Amino acid sequence: MSLLDVRQLRKRFGGLVVTRDVSITLGKGDRVALIGPNGAGKTTFVNLVTGHVRPDGGTVLLDGKDVTRASPTARVRAGLVRSFQVTRLFSEMTPEEHIALAMLQRLGRSRRIFADFRSMPDVVDEADRILSLFNLSGIARVPVGAIAYGQQRLLEVALVMALKPKVLLLDEPAAGVPSADIALIERALAQLPADLAVLMIDHDMDFVFRFARKVIVLAAGGVIFDGTPQAVAADARVRQAYLGSYADDRGTA
Amino acid sequence: MTTDATVKARNAASLGRVRRSAAVDATAVVIILAAAALLYVLFPGSLALFTRMVAIMMLALSLDLVTGFAGIATLGHAALFGAGAYAAGILASKFGFTDPFAMLGVGAVAGALAGIVSSVVILRGRGLGQLVLSIAIVQLAHEAANKLSAWTGGSDGLSGIAPAPIFGLYRFDLWGRTAFILAVALLVVVFVLLRVIIRSPFGMLCRGIKQDPVRVRAMGAPVYGTLVKLYAIAGAVAGLGGALSAVATKVVGLDSLSFTLSAEALVMLVLGGVGKLFGALIGTFVFIWFEHLVAAINPFHWLTIVGVMLIVVVLFEPRGLTGAAEALWTRARGGRR
């Protein structure tokens, strides 16, 4: 049973076809990477799947239910959550408040007017557990605007985890992170629940190849490769469309 | 067993933080009550002025909710205040319901409704567009009140409001003592409720929307619905302020529904400090007091002096008077260490 089933998704902007009959399936525990050169249509694909852009054709099934016409927030509530390439956090709020707010939303308590999450033991306990999992306990009550960028990226992953999604779209989780801190992000991603289906969009090849068990390559709006990380570098079409010199570097190294 | 103990300790610490917040609220209430008592004793002849201040404080608090906490720009907030004032005034003068609590209740409901209507219009725009729509709303409301003179008294104002004694016991006296005590009691209740609301999950959601609405949507939370709800709450607070002014002054004028009052409320909020609730109280108090003093000294150029004061505050302490006080406090504490 696949958690995310994208079938024949199509989108054109005027005369330009940006998504051409793309089909992807993700099952429990899948770790799939979506790569492709600039302009391949990765961002549009993410926007189609999350509901920010209406497709011209095709269907998106989430855990067996058709969500092709559902609003972005309805998809999130159904378990399809995304992270952002550029950190989107509340700069005046603390990491603890971020996690608590995500949990309150998940638990259906975010509309409460006369309540305080600090007097809800279940929320306080889980927020504390998630923050310590990502080594953020020490700065749990510091406004996010005052913490380091690498830690903000970690919080982004922690926040997504607090929403307990079924399917997670990670949009360049390591974007802008100094290379010394990439290991931290990788460790954070290793903490994601094993049965979660993850689709990662990224440029950093080494990073992608360590994380993914399956790679999908998008070029000019269509899927040109779908297979293992080992096979992708050997594929002639992928070499031509995207990897180019990188694949040769790997070969000589 | 040890983990059990740490969980218990953590929950206790968390509840301790809740209690500390309550203690801060209690301190704020004590300060408000002490200031009110002091004014009552020192300036028994100016109680009407202070009651007006409290009514406008409700408007500034309401504006702080919308602008300070949710980041919606508005120059038409007096529409909600005026809705409350006229609803309370019409209830008393045209329908003969003169119970002050009925008037206040109807004022709050009318304010909430006006809040919902204006939010539906204002939230269509963004940034400058939002500002223009908000001005349009208050101008339309002003013109409607002007034209419907059979109900509102038009430009002559609505008179013939004679509130009954509170609980049938305490009459609204000539010196405005009853009105002042009623106003302070209402202010304390509203202030504490708003403090609770901004700490609540709903309040966190509103603060989140101000800082990044895209992230709020990506968490699956509604942005539009949350803001309309916030506007309804803010409308009830502003409407209560309007109704209080109707009860206390026994007249409602078109100025309660004006662009000028909307803009002044924003000035008071900026003066006191945005997004802190206490700033709304301090800013209103200082602005109206200053206006009162300067207008007595120089009735022609008082607006110039108010303008200069505002420029000084915005240039030297953009976080307002409460921001300046906070900075002094942290510096004093840092110096002692």
pLDDT digits (tens, 9 = 90+) for A209-234: 888 999 998 888 889 888 888 888 78
Contacts within 8 Å (CB) and 24+ apart, B205-210: B205/A101, B205/A105, B205/A110, B205/A111, B206/B65, B206/B69, B206/B70, B206/B230, B207/A90, B207/A92, B207/A93, B207/B69, B207/B70, B208/A90, B208/A93, B208/A101, B209/B70, B209/B71, B210/B69, B210/B70, B210/B71
Inside any domain, residue B95:
yes
Inside any domain, residue B176:
yes
- The span from the CA of B244 to the CA of B222, in Å, is 33
Please report residues of B whose CB lies closer than 8 A to that of A112: 200-202
- Give me the amino acid identity at B229: K
Residue B160: which domain range? 16-256
Domains of chain A plus CATH, in order, are 2-252 (3.40.50.300)
List, in order, residues 6 or more apart from A69 with CB less than 8 Å away: none
Q: Which tokens belong to B75?
A: 């120059």
Inside any domain, residue B293:
no
Distances (CA, A) of A73 to A52, B217, B331: 10, 6, 44
Please report residues of B whose CB lies closer than 8 A to that of A116: 18, 21, 196, 199-200
Residues from A contacting B (CB-CB < 8 Å) are 72-73, 76-77, 81-82, 84, 88-93, 97, 100-102, 104-106, 109-119, 121, 124-125, 128, 159, 163
- B204 contact A CB<8A: yes
Quick check: A92 and B218 CB within 8 A? no
Q: How many domains does chain B have?
A: 1
Quick check: A93 and B208 CB within 8 A? yes
Please report residues of A whose CB lies closer than 8 A to that of B200: 112-116
pLDDT digits (tens), chain A, 253 positions: 689 999 999 999 988 888 999 999 999 999 999 988 877 888 889 999 999 899 999 999 999 999 999 999 999 999 999 998 888 999 999 999 999 999 999 999 999 999 999 999 999 999 999 999 888 999 999 999 999 988 898 899 899 999 999 999 998 888 778 887 888 888 888 888 999 999 998 877 778 888 899 999 888 888 988 888 888 878 888 877 765 555 555 544 4
- The span from the CA of B22 to the CA of B17, in Å, is 9
- Buried b / exposed e over A143-179, threshold 16 CB at 10 Å, is ebeebeebbbbbbbbbbbbbbebbbbbbbbbbbebee
Q: Which tokens belong to B61?
A: 């608090």
Please report residues of B whose CB lies closer than 8 A to that of A92: 207, 211
Total CB pairs under 8 A between chain A and B: 103
Inside any domain, residue B3:
no
At residue A243, the pLDDT reads 57
Q: A234 CA to chain B: closest CA distance, Å? A: 37
At residue B321, the pLDDT reads 87
Comparing CB atoms, the residue among B14, B199, B205 nearest residue A101 is: B205
Please report residues of A whose CB lies closer than 8 A to that of B208: 90, 93, 101
Quick check: A81 and B218 CB within 8 A? yes
- The span from the CA of B282 to the CA of B271, in Å, is 8
Nearest CA in chain A to B230: A113
Inside any domain, residue B75:
yes
Q: Are the C-beta atoms of A75 and A50 separated by less than 8 Å?
A: yes
Chain A contact probe: residue of B3, B4, B8, B14 with most A CBs at under 10 A: B14
The helix/strand/coil state of A146 is helix
Inside any domain, residue B11:
no
At residue B1, the pLDDT reads 43
At residue A242, the pLDDT reads 65
Please report residues of A whose CB lies closer than 8 A to that of B202: 110-113
Inside any domain, residue B331:
no
Please report residues of B whose CB lies closer than 8 A to that of A72: 217-218
pLDDT digits (tens), chain B, 337 positions: 446 788 888 888 888 899 999 999 999 999 999 999 999 999 999 999 999 999 999 999 999 999 999 999 899 999 999 999 999 999 999 998 999 999 999 999 999 999 999 999 999 988 899 999 999 999 999 999 999 988 898 888 898 888 889 898 888 888 899 999 999 999 999 999 999 999 999 999 999 999 999 999 999 999 999 999 999 999 999 999 999 999 999 999 999 999 999 999 999 999 899 998 999 999 999 999 988 888 888 777 777 877 888 888 888 888 888 888 888 888 887 754 4
Inside any domain, residue B305:
no
Alpha helices by DSSP H, listed for chain B, are: 2-42, 47-63, 78-95, 100-122, 128-147, 149-152, 177-199, 201-211, 213-218, 224-249, 259-272, 278-297, 302-316, 320-336
